[in-house]
Amino acid sequence: MHRELEQCTIRRWRLEDAPSLAASANNRNVWLTLRDRMPHPYSLADAEAYVQQRLQDPTMPIFCIEVDDAAAGGIGLHPGDDVNRLTAELGYWLAEPFWGRGITTAAVKAIVQYAFTQLPLTRIEAYVYENNPASARVLEKSRFQFEGRLRKNVIKDGVVLDSLLYARLKDE
Ligand SMILES: CC(C)(COP(=O)(O)OP(=O)(O)OC[C@H]1O[C@@H](n2cnc3c(N)ncnc32)[C@H](O)[C@@H]1OP(=O)(O)O)[C@@H](O)C(=O)NCCC(=O)NCCS
């Protein structure tokens, strides 16, 4: 996928993204909303390892959000397996200086369009921690439906939280 949008470009990761990725991702406010597998603090070595991983598995639909010629975030689909193989989980994050400009909503709409035209998927789902209304809003603006509250199913930064499950189907 390579999409030039009004305020950003969605494209494959490149080796030279590592320094700007590290600068964008080294942010506690970003980390607090994501899984613990994202390191914090986020070093240049973490960024280099991440980009290497992406380059080694180019078939995974996981992309860089480029803003102002720098890696400003990430967006990707993680396909399920076995009986869930037509479902993918959507994840995304954006560097804090760019929040509130509609960039992630545009990126989500673009990847959904890509997913349902280029990949064998019938459903895309996303899990939002209950304390992240901005992310829930991104999904609502992208025509995901709220399907339910998973009570106390995550622990993040020592706090047990509910997750909100959102999904969009191919035919919707
Ligand atoms: C969540 C995140 C991706 C949003 O990105 P963004 O580019 O700022 O999103 P957009 O500008 O497209 O839309 C944000 C919407 O949330 C709204 N919003 C922001 N803060 C809010 C709050 N505290 N309560 C309610 N709505 C809020 C904005 O007003 C906007 O909605 P609007 O267009 O109706 O006004 C970004 O904040 C981020 O990267 N956060 C850290 C990582 C993360 O949360 N990832 C998702 C994990 S599920």
* Distance of CA 103 from the midpoint of ligand 1 (Å): 9
Domain spans, the chain? 3-124
Cβ neighbors of 18 (< 8 A, separation 6 or more) are 44, 47, 48, 50, 51
The pTM of this model reads 0.98
Q: Taking a C-beta distance cutoff of 8 angstroms, is the pair 97, 104 a contact?
A: no
Which residues contact ligand 1 via a Cβ below 6 A? Answer: 30, 33-34, 92-94, 99-105, 128, 132-135, 137-138
Angle made by CA atoms 101, 35, 77, in degrees to the nearest 5:
65
3-124: CATH topology is Aminopeptidase (3.40.630)
Q: Mean pLDDT in runs of 10 for the chain (172 residues)?
A: 98 98 98 97 98 96 98 98 98 98 98 98 98 98 98 98 98 86
